[in-house]
Amino acid sequence: MGYIVLILGVALWAGAHLFKRLAPQRRAAMGERGKGLVALALLVSIVLMVLGYRWAGYAQVWYPPAFLRHLNNLLMLLAVYLFAASIMQTRITRVIRHPQLTAVKTWALAHLLVNGSLAGFILFGGLLAWAVVAVILINRAQREWQRPQPASMLVEGGAVLAALVGMFVIGMIHNWLGVWPFG
């Protein structure tokens, strides 16, 4: 049952995000009310993914070597930085067109490296696939890209600080959930 709930959660997440790209007229016809429905679908999808992941029986697909944990942590720091950079519009956003989706792809890849379970492959692989498809669909719909203005060094430093604080908070949440990610 857990795997079905997990798959439904990942599918709902992807569908809610891709709805605007796959059915733009239908989404536009929903107007402002559509934003609330999409937000509700995303909230439900997160609940389904969390519950499905926790309920899924443990099935080991592969045994990741211990050194991959360090690569995971490095990729996670990059993912958190990319997410912060997308909000703060740092200089890297002049190079990477979709920093938030790149952050999700980096996060998912990092977790695939250290999580050898079937539930992990479904969750992280599914979200990685969604992010790749989202980038492709956005680039097809909006071929032109306006690069943001260069950010100040203060903004750059703020993004790095936000990434470090974010990594600490994420580590503490993982520890609270029973997984120590830094050792």
For the chain of 183 residues, list the mean pLDDT of each consecutive stretch of 10: 97 96 90 92 98 96 93 97 95 95 98 96 98 97 89 93 96 89 79
Which pLDDT score, from 0 to 100, does residue 118 have? 98
Residue 74: how many other CB atoms lie within 10 Å = 12
**DSSP H helical ranges for the chain:** 2-22, 24-55, 68-88, 99-114, 118-141, 153-176
| Contact between residue 109 and residue 149 where contact means Cβ atoms under 8 Å apart | no
- Is the pTM for the entire model greater than 0.75? yes
What does the alpha-carbon distance between residue 76 and residue 162 come to, in Å, rounded to a whole number?
13
Which pLDDT score, from 0 to 100, does residue 106 have? 98
Which pLDDT score, from 0 to 100, does residue 178 have? 86
CA distances, 42 to each of 12, 48, 49, 91, 142 (Å): 7, 10, 10, 30, 24
